[in-house]
Amino acid sequence: MRMRIVSLLFVAIISGCSESPQLFDPQIEPGSAAAFAGLPDKIQMSISTGVETRNYQLLRGSWGRISTTLAIPKETNAVGVSGQGGATFLPNPPKASYQGPYAFDTSRTRVAASILSAGSAAFLPTDFVIVDVASRKMISLVNGRRNEFIDAMSWSPDGRYLAILRKIERRKFLLDGVISSLSGHPPVANDYVLFVFDQGGVELMRSMVITSAPQGWSTLIWTQ
């Protein structure tokens, strides 16, 4: 009887397993295609998994793969959340700390910076602020979902828009990771969601662009 229960459990686990995460090319969701097609210039995105890095370009609402390595502007800084990190040169945000990426607009009049809110159940930044550089006053505070971590950000060349790439980490029971899954540490897959805000922090559009990618990190550059 015990062997039968174990066998049935093993079959259930195997049947619930999926294929290993793979890095597929990005797509814009059909319902958001028209909005993204109206954006100026080009949004370039780099996805790295530790095994490979792929570079993409969003132009008039469609993604294409590019071979050029993205040149990260000096005003963009991605810092790990283990230390102080982040835009610590700015005034302290209310009940939060600066962690993760930040970016100045091209005129250096505004800076967007990701923050980790006090008491948040998230362990990576999900919220961000936009601060006026001259007055050092906060223009807006934008709260994100607790499972959508800010991975990269970039202003448009004209300073009218802010693109933010969020990453959703999901643990998957994988056929080639059954042992680690049973031990309570199933492999991690990443979904990437692209958001565009206006210069005041109002969300204009969003789209899931990549699903079930291997665990990794990203870079986002909005260029002419």
Ramachandran class of 189: left when φ > 0, alpha when ψ lies in -120 to 50, beta otherwise:
beta
Residue 210 has pLDDT above 90, yes or no: yes
**Closest among 179, 183, 187 to 215, alpha carbons compared:** 187
> What is the rounded average pLDDT of the residues 141-164?
92
The pLDDT, as a whole number, for residue 10 is 39
The pLDDT, as a whole number, for residue 169 is 86
Residue 72 pLDDT grade (very low, low, confident, very high; cuts 50, 70, 90)? low
Residue 130 has pLDDT above 50, yes or no: yes
pTM of the model: 0.81
Structural domain boundaries in the chain:
2-223
**Closest among 58, 59, 55 to 67, alpha carbons compared:** 55
pLDDT in tens, 105-120: 989 999 999 998 887 7
- Whole-angstrom CA distances from 120 to 95, 116, 147, 171 are 10, 7, 11, 20
Mean pLDDT of the chain: 81
29 neighbors 207 (Cβ within 8 angstroms): yes
